[in-house]
Structure 1
């Protein structure tokens, strides 16, 4: 069974797992170990999970062979007054993705990105945005999945994928 066959829609009960994935995303760099409470209590990261699953939120969760969650990708519509790292415009959802370290580089992230793009397209969105630090190896994945840099910033880039 391939990674793409073990992906299900994210539900409200996945909030704690999505929080875990925000922590994984924040601590992507080897040797980085910001404590869970520090990541989630920060406004910059907490905004991606606080109040999950509100109107406009959608996501997908990847499962291992035993049905345990190993990664997730989801999007939120964040307001201009409280934008996320990858905010580009009102009405463009911002994507967040996290994969447990032992499952990275096994196709899980790619499968999640593809499935979430399908969800966003079916929800009527024309674009998805995200933010990534320039030295993150995931940049290669995002580019290969059609994301392009739109707004460079110090050390990180905002990337956008057109869905139509």
Structure 2
């Protein structure tokens, strides 16, 4: 599949809400939550006022003229929060574009950008059942903590 990865345009910031919803892991046999779930404060931290802080960075994957995936980071007190100098990751692709290597490419490009900008590590949280755990390990994330439901992972840059 042919795709390009590029920086998100300011006029596309609203797409992050779509990708935030797509990033919600839904175990097999469990109905997806209503889209309104992203309005909860603990999820809004990923998108509210995105682009207004120096640590807000986002990339998108585009197939033809359609944005099909996004990866974004910001320093925030989210599920994967490590400290106040470590950016936390969010990533998702529309379902029909998963499994083509696009997510890996998005993650790798973001990690390169973070390293060039002088960050020493990045973090994320992921449910233990989520198939994406393999992707995160593949691009260099390690499990540093866990609770009953999820892993906290860090990639040292």
Q: Structure 1 unaligned runs (5+)?
A: none
Measure how far apart 1:11 and its partner are: 2.8
Relative to its length, the structure with more helix (as a share) is: 1
Corresponding residue of 2:119? 125
Q: What stretches of structure 1 move > 4 A for 4+ residues in a row? A: none
Q: Give how far 1:85 is off.
A: 0.6
- Look up the match of 1:15: 13
CA distance in 2, matches of 1:111, 1:77: 22
Specify the alignment match of 1:91 in structure 2.
85
Q: Which residue of 1 aligns with 2:101?
A: 107
The alignment's TM-score, normalised by the length of structure 1, stands at 0.89
> Contact conserved, 1:148 with 1:160, CA < 8 A, in 2?
yes
Q: Within 2, Cα distance between the matches of 1:149 and 1:116?
A: 19
- Aligned to 2:60, what secondary structure does the other structure show? strand
Q: Would you say the 8 A contact 1:26–1:39 is kept in 2? A: no
TM-score (norm 2): 0.93
Q: Superposition pairs for residues 25-104 of structure 1, below 5 Å? A: 25-30=23-28, 31-36=30-35, 38-55=36-53, 56-64=55-63, 66-78=64-76, 83-104=77-98
Deviation at 1:73, TM superposition (A): 0.3
Deviation at 1:27, TM superposition (A): 4.4
The CA distance in 1 between the partners of 2:136 and 2:62, in whole Å, is 21
Q: CA RMSD in A?
A: 1.4
- Is there any run of 5+ residues in structure 2 with no aligned partner, and where? none
